[in-house]
Copies of this chain bind each other. A is one copy, B any other.
Amino acid sequence: MTKPVAMAELWRGGMLESQHLGHAVICDDTGEIVEAWGDPQAVIFPRSSCKMLQALPLLESGAAEAAGLSEAQLALACASHQGAAIHRDMATRWLADLGLSDADLRCGVQEPSDRAERNRLIKADGSPCQVHNNCSGKHCGFLTLNRHLGGGPEYVALDHPVQQAVKAAFEEVTGQDSPGHGIDGCSAPNFATTVTGLARAMAFFAKANPEGDGRNRAAARLTRAMTAYPELVAGEGRACTELMRAMGGKVAIKTGAEAVFVAILPERRRGIALKIVDGGTRAAEAAICALLVREGVLEAGHPATLKRLDAVQKNWRGIEVGIIRKSEGFA
């Protein structure tokens, strides 16, 4: 088994303070590895980085069309949003359109990370709802598919038709049987795969033909939705939103908990997946920036890049105290 390699580092006072190791794979449109760092066969949980895979059955089944979902709703279905007003409102309307309510969600209640919405709730002595959960869009998608399939209300159970459809699509697009699953923060099953399997899935999305078969059309629509609505996929200030904007809508990217990051590069017909072994988000953001710069789709000097790679760290008084860099030999 190949060891993970150093990918990102925090330097302070001219000395290395902290270092993150990881695995990364770039696949081409044949699903083969173009380049890899660390162990391409490392088994990982994609966590939220695979939300576009989890949304495939929503489109392929015809459920999205039957429900008249907009492109913005498809973006929200792929989102790990921060529970801002735009996310909260879209999820709330979506549930109402389905004749459902917050109580029908199974993602759980999460305090919004959007500061304006968080502060509004605190000032009003209000409580967050399930629509604030970063996964509420994905769950609205699950509920839309569930209506179409006629399944029971416990749509996050492993043997529920919604999750079985997700599992089948996930294994087909990653090109591997999943070696197992865990339960995600939002209570849905999260299927394990290799870093290569995840990169291969992203390469499939990258080459998906919008005039092709059902799966191709679904993948192409989801990629387009993510790049068209970067503010829905995460939120103001967040890596996915800022970096997709920085790349002018040409590349779709998605983060996942425990430091997973994926990218779909349609023009280059390539997919990228990476996992920082220790789960450090700052390192996953730095590493995906490094790979996107290397692929020529992200400017090294763009402010959204410099917030995460070659990123000056300031302290409480705004004094420069360190920098986050990519490790020597990576990307």
A15 to B12 Cα, complex, angstroms? 34
Chain B residues positioned under 8 Å from A167 (CB to CB): none
Q: Which residues of B contact A317 (CB under 8 A)?
A: 106-108, 187
Q: Residue A2 at the B interface, CB < 8 A?
A: no
Q: Which residues of B contact A319 (CB under 8 A)?
A: 183, 187
Q: Whole-angstrom distance from the CB of A276 to the nearest CB of chain B?
A: 8
Convert A246-260 into 0s and 1s, putting 1 for each residue whose CB lies closer than 8 angstroms to a CB of B: 000000000000110
Of the stretches A17-25, A28-36, A53-61, the one at the interface is A17-25
- Which of A67-75, A222-230, A277-285 binds B? A277-285
Q: How far is the CA of A108 from the CA of B316 in the complex (A)?
A: 5
> Can you list 18 contacts pairing A with B, beta carbon distance less than 8 Å?
A10-B258, A12-B45, A12-B190, A13-B182, A13-B190, A17-B279, A18-B259, A18-B277, A19-B277, A19-B278, A21-B278, A108-B317, A109-B316, A183-B321, A184-B315, A185-B315, A186-B315, A187-B315
Contact B183 A13 (CB under 8 A): yes
Q: Which B residues are CB-close (under 8 A) to A276?
A: 278
- Please indicate the chain B residues that have their CB under 8 angstroms from the CB of A15 in the complex: 43, 45, 179-180, 182, 192
Query: Size class of A's contact patch?
Result: 35 or more
On chain B, the residues within 8 Å of A179 by CB distance are 15
A185–B321 CB distance below 8 A: yes
Contact (Cβ within 8 A) A44 B17: yes
Contact bitstring A109-145, B, C-beta under 8 A = 1, else 0: 1100000000100110000000001000000000000
A-side residues, CB < 8 A to B, are 10, 12-15, 17-21, 43-45, 106-110, 119, 122-123, 133, 179-187, 190, 192, 258-259, 276-280, 283, 315-319, 321-322
User: Considering only CB atoms, which chain B residue lies closest to A14 in the complex?
Assistant: B180
User: Once bound together, how far apart are the Cα atoms of A109 and B17, in whole Å?
Assistant: 24
- Contact status A280-B277, CB under 8 Å: no
Contacting A107 at CB < 8 Å: which of B17, B45, B280, B316? B316
Q: Find out whether the CB atom of A45 lies under 8 angstroms from the CB atom of B20.
A: no
A13 touches B258 (CB 8 A): no
**Distance in angstroms between the alpha carbons of A23 and B323 in the assembled complex:** 22
* Chain B nearest CB, measured from A137 CB (Å): 15
B192-A13 in contact (CB<8A): yes
Cα A259 to Cα B283 in complex, Å, equals: 15
